[in-house]
Structure 1
């Protein structure tokens, strides 16, 4: 099996796993990955993560021209923005996960560092997560908003919509977006309670030891 065939299978398997566990639903969510030749594989528009067909993934060449597969997700501007601004991005995943969407609809203490510092794992896998304002699905302005971050964020939260996470591999991107959803779930469970967050010294220790991006 070729490297691209393995990548196609992997994308569909990861998407199906996210779907089975309720991290996205219906025909929501999209995923993409960088191929060895610099092109992209992208989930098609209007498809379910539970039923992706490896042979029908949209295929783009390194210049951005579609050369095969079905029409891609309408959220292509989001995906391209991460690939264009963050060196080492090998995959991007966007979900409509329930708890993160719910948390995005509540007042944010700091939109530029939106996810509460509840566990070390979200900090280690995501760094800071920026809450972006609401955009109509498919609006190219979402990509512009990500570009405006200058590659400083591996993860953003689209208000009233869902998280978008970039990673070096599809597995890394999926693990990170799952961590984001788990942290949002904790935040919703503990909202209004005197929960103990990680303090500044603990966060600084994680950032230093793990060489985490933590730019303002």
Structure 2
């Protein structure tokens, strides 16, 4: 999933064409995304159990008791087919670090790899702000989204064995980047948009002069988001 986002950095061509490509996977606002996660989480537990599995320090090392800056994992219960449902909390604020998530069938409840889970995992800051989420199905990442200041900024989606797509958004929610890679292709088709919706960069078009200032600005926004969300 990272590859399709990183590949945007390889695009150096310029064109001016048509309208932005919409996505129908993730809500643009954090409130909608959080509500979706909460609704999904409420349906997870069939057999209730509530206990602390383990405590961890700020570096993620397991400890015998709580420590400043650390977090802890709760076992909330089990699904109808016996899979553990867990949730992590910040120790200092007692706020949720993630929404409840289902572990895959044979995973250890202390396994923090997203691939040890099944379905959606959603992360929050200690202040309760939604940061990002991933969707795992049968050990494969199908979707990941990143939010900042209440808005969706990056999204990547992949259908099993089919197309991969990625979207990037300005702070006002307007699209600035779209990339699509078909299953039989080695490189994605990348488009970068200006603030009026025109295409500034098209990876399938030859270079025609120097990139305009708006294209440089869009590229900078992209790289800033990549750095912020640690996607390198």
TM-score of the superposed pair, with normalisation by structure 1: 0.31
**Greater Rg, structure 1 or structure 2?**
2
Q: Tell me which protein shows more helix as a share of its residues.
A: 1
